[in-house]
Structure 1
């Protein structure tokens, strides 16, 4: 068994990427994820990798496009305002079917907002913040260990589906320190016969492109993309559920918020309330069917987020009117205490699904 080491979340992401075979990183510093960029600046030269601090987030995502197009395992990272600047490039990467990993350590917004934790980038990440009909795989860990595990997984999923994969963390996860274990990785980049690697082994050049000037060709491309997204929805749903079997009220939360919610749930259980927790790990594809089954047998759902209410819309769609869906959120970088969530549980529980 590998020895556990104490690491900050941002740095753990960087080491996990290296374990997964990432040897190209392009980024730009922005709080609260700058430690990841700093870590990669130190580590990449030691593993014969490439680190480059780009002149902007726009430049960084386009460097990712180039490296991914050449077949490299490549990553970039940012925080909310910088992530917004990457959206056009992410749409290009999705359109050209380029595997890459993009980390967003979310902060409060809108605009420059604050440097405190937030979860208000949910819409942008899961609904496609750029243009066109495309999807990103979106993974939302809730611990430093899960940041490590999800990062390795992200590179495999990106290569398997030739698609960008987003790791959606937040300022709390990026900054907190926890013991982590780096397991011997079986992750390995597959052969990429589609990559632009020169003409040594082929008679015709590979072309990396997302431009289709003929409507019929573009529609055919879009149909194929949608077929791929349907396959991802079938195979890559991830979630955790705790004490939902006999629950009357089920809390729905992801990321750092799910840990606060779990503490509140345990207190509610001790005080005789039948409360459970449903935690989406894949935000896209969203675990709609699993949550729908829960909604069919509970009295109510309570969604808790560090936003004014974004994931709650997907929760309502999954519930499909089978039970009431309530919401509790904080914004501005304020993280609710377990007691505040517990108080909200008590208030919601008294409603009894009415």
Structure 2
């Protein structure tokens, strides 16, 4: 009788072996080089919660002759799609751009102008800052949700603002240097509508003191929705320009002056004089007649393009402040906090 259990033990051991062998054989196998997936996506895993995503990279030509890399990565669990416009030789060899010669994590001579679009993503697809301007290569980033709202939520209530701001920061700090050589001390920002809400409400308070550069907040603004990190450094080193129209959306009409006042207070609390604040924080809402973001008095798309084309005149070291069709937009916020609106739209 003792032989029967032993026989069954042998049979069952053989069956278990077969089951594991068949399951192992059913697992997908990598084909070819171990780097095939990375090469196909142009994505390189990096620190800070950045990993390769499934979407393949696309490479096209920019309006100024530079090269556009369009790519998707996963950052902190969020799928982040972005585009970079740069001279071909400034891209890394791993980016997949023909002629890319830079080494990953190399410091380049040019900086970045990172643009966050308005609700719905129009300015991501238009890419108004794609030309290399004022030694800044253009970058646009797509909001990581189905509505393409930066910060998620709706209206002025951006419920995912903290997570989205952190993802943008990680994109710049950990991922972009895998794609292109740039100067990390020369990274500027542009917001459009909902993108301006994310920047002013979440990104600038949390990370502005790290960058010490500047931001143009087009047709949108929020008071800081999170704690301000190192307000003294932020106030003394970050140029902030608020640009709106007189016939902005009714929802934004109280929010924009409130944001202006809040950032002026950060500077005042840091001990900056009125003259110092005036040199760093500026505002204009001269345009009237085109509606939300229509800075050229025509429409949203051409208005946003106008501000992008004149970015150097607003944020450059020797900025003239002159914007075609508007005039000098660099008016100090001191005394101009309560910008006037003529109508509700």
TM-score relative to the length of structure 2: 0.32
Q: Which has the higher helix share?
A: 1
Between the two structures, name the one with larger relative contact order (CA 8 Å, sep ≥ 6).
Answer: 1
